[in-house]
Structure 1
Amino acid sequence: MEIAEDDRYSRQERFQPLGKEGQQLLGQSHVLIVGAGALGTSTAETLARAGIGHLTIADRDYVEWSNLQRQQLYTEEDARQRLPKAVAAKNRLQQVNSTIKIDAHVMDIRAEELESLIEGVDLILDASDNFDIRLIINDMSQKHRIPWIYGACVGSYGITYTIIPGKTPCLNCLLGTIPLGGDTCDTAGIIPQAVQIVTAHQTTEAFKILSGHPEALRGKLYSFDLWRNESMNVGIGDAKKESCLSCGPDAVFPYLSAANQEKTDVLCGRDTVQIRPAQRQTLNLKETADKLDRVNEGQIESNPFLVSFSVGAHRMVIFADGRALIHGTKDITEARKLYHRYLG
């Protein structure tokens, strides 16, 4: 039986707003996906099947059993081998579509790493797990005039927003407007349907940008809660600030500066990493302890000054200013992973 390769994208091409010309543009596009967890795997598979010509995937983590419930590219064998997520994602996507180019990078994304990946990229998709990285993506997007699509989900809640440099408010403009929260999938859980809704909106917006249809973009921030049967489109055009240091006329891209990035130190003579958030926080330690107690089965210890708990071979000590000590490791990447897993 002859394989009809030319028929591969026929159903997409029959969608009139896209057509053959739009499909050709998708095939010439390069998308960078930051993160290969639930959102990253879902968006990567959608774009690979759709024929995006070049995908670059960057992630610092490896596959664990708890990922298999929602991170759709991974298998039990990937978890047994603790295969890096970026590598496992590339392996699977090459089986899905062998005609596209896929680059996998096992790295902890900060400004320097992102700068090394940005050349030739047409669009950045956010599939990260914390706001430090998102603010770096935002500044890098503004610096290089590359659109990016913010996306996040936890529990049954999700949110997404498309940012076009020079036209829309950037993420820095929206700080204090959008709900940031402190919950993560490890503390509040997540249902896979929330992932799929965010994926659908992110990748549809990606199609519009890459196929040359910016007029079809939503132009609003979209959020939803599937369990509560709620959804909302919020017009935020007025949120764009002339004084914004990320996208205003006097932009200096503050989150690309070391002064505004998370600080990590391996403490001298101790098997401990200290992490300090880029901006000083004020945590409610009782609420933090209660939240962690729900997922750590009574291993929480607290006093008016700190919260301490064990996770595997590590002990985390969290202070009211957001600073944390991760005992039992000198590996900064591992320490960051634990910090963002439990503190968001």
Structure 2
Amino acid sequence: MNDRYSRQMLFEPIGEEGQDLLSDKHVVIIGAGALGTGNAEILARAGVGRITIADRDYVEWSNLQRQQLFSEEDAKYRMPKAVAARERLEQVNSDIHVEGLVLDAGAEELRELTEFADLIIDATDNFDTRLLINDISQEKKIPWIYGACVGSYGLSYVILPGETPCLSCLLEKVPMGGATCDTAGIIAPVVQMVVAHQTSEALKLLTGNTAALRNKLVSFDVWNNHYLAMDVQKLKKTDCPSCGKHPQYPHLNPENQTKTAVLCGRNTVQIRPSEKGERDLDELSLSLSRLGGKVEQNPYLLSYSNQEEQRLVFFKDGRVLIHGTKDITEAKNLYYSLIG
């Protein structure tokens, strides 16, 4: 073990044995926004051997205020967040393996991503994905760490399959908030506060220090100086469809998964293809160029803006983001008018 981790190894609960454990662990981070980049950087610097980052979006200028792995160049060229995060982390720690995947994490994708995972970290911005993570976690018996923040308010909780209430249990009793960063804004310190709670619990889990886990849901407001730790163990339900005695994992059911989604607070609709396949961006560029408008392309995505100032972003995995509307029907009509 080189000197890179010497100060961390001097921390008695981790030590050399814990550092060896970290080097053998695989953490899957769903989302590469503020929480995702913060978690990824701390765990990469800590020496977690394998980190997989999955994200469906690309870097925009508004991200740079709080999403710490990205640069102005990333925003300028609309780099996929997962790719930009991976490239930065490879510069931070070349001793570990970092995988950055540009995809929308549905049930099928999550099953593949977590095949050999030791821990899942939630860095998403919507409960549809979180409930998928929750059911995958319960089905595969993989712990996951919930995190959320908006404005100056943050939440975090560790979910251990078979031991703690799951997210489905909590949603019936604990208010999780309805505002988004795009409606209420956000300040960077609350991001770092949530990341600190998530990563400290992650290090405990990954090094076998489970007795030190917090075992409470924490919420805080860093602007108004509020902090609360809630014991939610009594909320665990024996008849919960996700973690009860007879689990059905309802959110993994294909019937409960949509091919279109309104992105949280973004005035944007995402359309997923009905079948998997790789889109030929070069061919699409030629086709759209004939229609007029503006076409911009990088190796991972293509952006098309028409004369009505509507913008569509096409990804190689077939997905498309339609910016400027929350109306799914309107988004589909625009998409089909261009693609057929």
TM range (shorter): 0.7 to 0.9
Q: Residue 317 and residue 217 in structure 1: after superposition, are their counterparts in 2 closer, same or farther (change >3 A)?
A: closer
Q: Displacement, 1:184?
A: 1.1
Mapped to 2, the partners of 1:274 and 1:85 lie a distance apart of: 16
Given residue 138 of structure 2, which amino acid in structure 1 is its aligned partner? Q
Deviation at 1:245, TM superposition (A): 0.6
Task: Identify the residue that residue 86 of structure 1 maps to in structure 2.
Answer: 82
Q: Does 2:153 align with 1:148?
A: no
- List per-residue Cα deviations over 1:169-197 (Å, max 9, x = no partner): 00011112222332111111100000000
Show the counterpart of 1:219. 215
Is the Cα–Cα contact under 8 Å of residues 149 and 161 in structure 1 kept in the other structure?
A: yes
Give CA-to-partner distance per residue, 1:309-334, whole Å, 9 cap, x none.
Answer: x995454356xxxx775367429xxx
Per-residue deviation at 1:149? 0.2
**Secondary structure at the counterpart of residue 8 of structure 1:** helix
Q: 1:121 aligns with which of 105, 114, 117?
A: 117
Gaps of 5+ in 2: 262-267, 272-307, 312-322
Q: Secondary structure of the equivalent of 1:212? A: coil
Q: CA distance change for structure 1 residues 96 and 315 in 2, over 3 Å: closer, same or farther?
A: closer
**Secondary structure of residue in 1 paired with 2:244:** coil
- Whether the 8 Å CA contact 1:12–1:19 is kept in 2: the answer is yes
Aligned-pair CA distance for 1:63: 0.7
Label 1:78 to 1:328 Cα distance change in 2 as closer, same or farther (>3 A). farther
- Give identity over the alignment, percent: 59
1:42 Cα offset (Å):
0.5
Distance 2:47 2:326 in 1: 46
Counterparts of 1:329 and 1:150 in 2: how far apart (Å)?
36
Alignment of 1:39 onto 2:35: yes
Map of 1:185 onto structure 2: 181
Give ranges in structure 1 of 5+ residues lacking alignment. 266-271, 276-309, 332-344
Map of 2:194 onto structure 1: 198
Q: Where in structure 2 are the equivalents of 1:1-344 lying within 5 Å?
A: 6-264=2-260, 313=311, 314-316=323-325, 325-326=330-331, 329-330=334-335
Tell me, in whole angstroms, the C-alpha distance in 2 between the residues paired with 1:38 and 1:210. Answer: 22
The superposition leaves residues 165-224 of structure 1 with CA deviations (integer Å, 9 ceiling, x where unpaired) of: 000000011112222332111111100000000000000000010000111100000000
Letter in 1 for 2:325: M
d(CA) in 1 for partners of 2:73, 2:257: 36
- Normalising by structure 2, report the TM-score: 0.79
Q: Does the C-alpha gap of structure 1 residues 253 and 76 become closer, same or farther in structure 2, counting only changes over 3 Å?
A: same
SS at 1:316 equivalent: coil
* Cα contact 2:269–2:325 (8 A) shared by 1: no
Contact 1:315–1:328 at 8 Å: present in 2 too?
no
Deviation at 1:135, TM superposition (A): 0.2
- 2: distance between equivalents of 1:273 and 1:85? 18
Q: In the alignment, residue 148 of structure 1 is paired with which amino acid?
A: W
What letter is aligned with 2:101? H
Q: Distance in 2 between matches of 1:235 and 1:311?
A: 50
Instruction: Name the CA shift for 1:258/1:186 in 2 (closer, same or farther; >3 Å).
Output: same
Q: Are the structure 2 counterparts of residues 324 and 153 from structure 1 closer, same or farther at C-alpha, using a change threshold of 3 Å?
A: farther
Amino acid corresponding to residue 240 of structure 1 in structure 2:
K
Distance in 2 between residues matched to 1:49 and 1:149, nearest whole Å: 19
Q: How many residues align?
A: 283
Secondary structure in structure 1 of the residue aligned to 2:325? strand
1:9 alignment partner, SS class = helix
Alpha-carbon spacing, 1:61–1:328, altered in 2? closer, same or farther (3 Å): farther
**Counterparts of 2:39 and 2:103, CA distance in 1:** 19
For 1:132 and 1:198, how far apart are their aligned partners in 2? 20
CA distance in 2, matches of 1:324, 1:72: 35
Amino acid at match of 1:192: A
Are the structure 2 counterparts of residues 109 and 274 from structure 1 closer, same or farther at C-alpha, using a change threshold of 3 Å? closer
TM-score, normalisation: structure 1: 0.78
* Contact map agreement 2:135 2:252 (CA 8 A) in 1: yes
Distance 1:144 1:35 in 2: 20
